[in-house]
Amino acid sequence: MEFTAAMIAGLLNGTIDGDPGTKLNTIARIEEGHAGALSFLSNPKYEPYIYTTGSSAVLVNNDFIPSREVSATLIRVADPYQALARLLTIYDEQSRPVKKGIHPTAVIEESAVIGKEVYIGAHAYVSDKAVIGDGCSIYPNVYIGDNVRTGRNCTFHPGVKVYRDCLIGNDCIIHAGAVIGSDGFGFAPVSDANYMKIPQIGNVILEDSVEIGSNTCIDRATMGSTVIRRGVKLDNLIQVGHNVEIGENTVIAAQTGLAGSTRIGKNCMFGGQVGFSGHLSIADGCKIGAQAGILSTVSEENSVLLGSPAMDSKQFLKSFIYFRKLPDMNRKIDELAKSVESLKNR
């Protein structure tokens, strides 16, 4: 597909500096640009590349002022990153083949209810009394358990497993290998250091527009529900324990682990490998840096935390200055001790 800079600007409500007729047929990173490619600049540290890029056009902020000549056509928009996301969505919808129909090797139990315009791929299995909403895509080797209910336009990528009784909202995307509704980690200690399994009789609820990354596991509740609220985005390889609740529009990066009964507020952002102890509450709008350890409740909204155990980011950065100086401080203390010992011996 080929577009002109003017067509792209029209789609994005942008304005053009340069040739409106610049022809574009692909998208590339600004540092790897080439003729016919559209790139974007949103992070200031990449600005040097805009003066050397081979891309034919670059999306930039409305207020971007180049410090020297730029050969590429500039398409000015309110937010280049969001504009790129819109373009990629349009490109993906037009270039990806639309899967239709039910493969002959798929197994659908008689009591299951399948909506309109649903795709079900090879070797997928839909269990008793499951309900699949209109427009859903179920790719090969997906397992949909008993009594599972999905909303409209959901996508289940290959190998997804959704256990019994779980509820999936509209417009959800679950990536390959994710497991929704496996047993929570519940065991009661008994004599002789043995453990008795506690049945996990709850379920998992995903509200609308939730996206779950590959190989992420969301445990069913012991009782009640593990709840992922509307608009939540979970990265790959995340563990969500039983009875956890994640608030609306929270985003969590890979390898984060949330122990059971943790409550996460809305609009939070967590980096990779953050660890949460169980039965905690995290206030709305909190931002937590990668590899932080959260051992206690965070009550103040919009807190920014770093470190393990986590602390206020400003306090952490001040402490880190001293941490870096510890080897030098230790050396000085050793020298001081030797001096004191020498004075004692005189």
CA distance 332 to 313: 29
Residues 61 and 165 occupy one common structural domain = no
Q: What is the pLDDT of residue 322?
A: 81
User: At CA 173, angle to CA 169 and CA 177, rounded to 5?
Assistant: 120
Q: How confident is the model at residue 28 (pLDDT cuts 50, 70, 90)?
A: very high
Q: What is the pLDDT of residue 327?
A: 87
- pTM for the whole structure: 0.86
Average pLDDT, the chain: 94
Let me know if residue 154 belongs to a domain. Answer: no
Residues 84 and 207 occupy one common structural domain = no
Let me know if residue 135 belongs to a domain. Answer: no
Which pLDDT tens digit goes with each residue over 125-179?
Answer: 999 999 999 999 999 999 999 999 999 999 999 999 999 999 999 999 999 999 9
| Whether pLDDT at 346 is above 80 | no
Residues 294 and 180 occupy one common structural domain = yes
Q: How many domains does the chain have?
A: 2
Let me know if residue 118 belongs to a domain. Answer: no
Q: How confident is the model at residue 339 (pLDDT cuts 50, 70, 90)?
A: confident
Structural domain boundaries, residue 256: 160-309
User: Looking at 128-132, 278-282, 316-320, which range is the least confident one?
Assistant: 316-320
Find the mean pLDDT for residues 80-91.
90
Q: When comparing pLDDT for 67 and 344, which is higher?
A: 67
Let me know if residue 23 belongs to a domain. Answer: yes
Contacts of 12 (CB under 8 A, 6+ apart): 59, 75, 77, 83, 86, 87
Residues 208 and 282 occupy one common structural domain = yes
CATH of the domain at 282: 2.160.10.10
Single out the catalytic residue among 103, 123, 157, 242: 242
Let me know if residue 150 belongs to a domain. Answer: no
Let me know if residue 9 belongs to a domain. Answer: yes
| Whether pLDDT at 101 is above 80 | yes
Residues 57 and 170 occupy one common structural domain = no
Residues 177 and 282 occupy one common structural domain = yes
Residues 74 and 165 occupy one common structural domain = no
Residues 178 and 77 occupy one common structural domain = no
Residues 222 and 89 occupy one common structural domain = no
Buried residues in 40-73 as b, exposed as e (16+ CB within 10 A): bbbeeeeeebbeebbbbbbbbbeebeeeeebebb
Let me know if residue 314 belongs to a domain. Answer: no
Residues 58 and 189 occupy one common structural domain = no
Q: What is the pLDDT of residue 79?
A: 95
Considering 58, 78, 95, which residue would you say is the last residue of a domain?
95
CA dist 141 to 42, 103, 158, 182, Å? 39, 11, 6, 17
Backbone angles phi, psi at 322, to 5 degrees: -70, -35
Let me know if residue 270 belongs to a domain. Answer: yes
Q: How confident is the model at residue 210 (pLDDT cuts 50, 70, 90)?
A: very high
Q: Is 279 a catalytic residue?
A: no
Considering 95, 118, 140, which residue would you say is the last residue of a domain?
95
Q: What is the pLDDT of residue 89?
A: 86
Which pLDDT tens digit goes with each residue over 220-240?
Answer: 999 999 999 999 999 999 999
Residues 70 and 195 occupy one common structural domain = no
Which pLDDT tens digit goes with each residue over 58-73?
Answer: 999 999 999 999 999 9
CA distance 116 to 121: 15
CATH of the domain at 66: 3.40.1390.10
Give Cα 333 to chain centroid, integer Å.
47
| Whether pLDDT at 95 is above 80 | no
Residues 49 and 188 occupy one common structural domain = no
